[in-house]
Amino acid sequence: MSRSYGRVEGAVDVKWAREAGAPEQFVWRGRLYRVNHVLQQWDTSATWWKDVATAPNGSDLRTWRVEAAAGRCDTPGVYELSFDPVVGRWYLLRTYD
C-alpha cells in the first residue's frame, strides 16, 4: 500500500510539551490536532527551503513526524512539523494519508 502526501509549507501554531521535548498539539486550517505519537525526529539544514516563499531564516530546523488527530472520532494522520529557532516559528511541512 503506497502512501500519498502533500507538501503544505505553511506556518502553524504549536503547543510544545517541554517534558517530552516534542510538539503536543497544533492548529491547522482552524482545527486543533492532538499529537498521539512522535514517529521520528531529526535536524536538517534549512538551505533546501531557498525556493519556498515561506522559507525560514536560513537556520537549522528540527523536524518531527507525528501521528495526530483532530478529535476522538477523527482518523489519525501523519504530519511533519518543523521549528525554526531563529524566528521562533513552526511550519507544517507535509501531511500523509
Q: What is the pLDDT of residues 43-52, one digit of tens each?
A: 877 565 555 5
Nearest to 33 by CA among 15, 10, 18: 15
* 59 pLDDT above the threshold of 90: no
For the entire predicted model, the pTM comes to: 0.77
* 18 pLDDT above the threshold of 50: yes
Given this model, what pLDDT does residue 20 score?
80
Given this model, what pLDDT does residue 1 score?
39
Given this model, what pLDDT does residue 2 score?
42
| Spatial separation of the C-alpha atoms in residues 46 and 65, rounded to whole Å | 17
29 Cβ contact partners less than 8 Å away, ≥ 6 residues apart? none
| Spatial separation of the C-alpha atoms in residues 57 and 38, rounded to whole Å | 25
**Higher-pLDDT residue of 56, 72:** 72
| Spatial separation of the C-alpha atoms in residues 85 and 96, rounded to whole Å | 25
Phi, psi of 47 (to 5 degrees): -65, -25
Return the percentage of the chain with pLDDT > 70, whole number.
Answer: 75
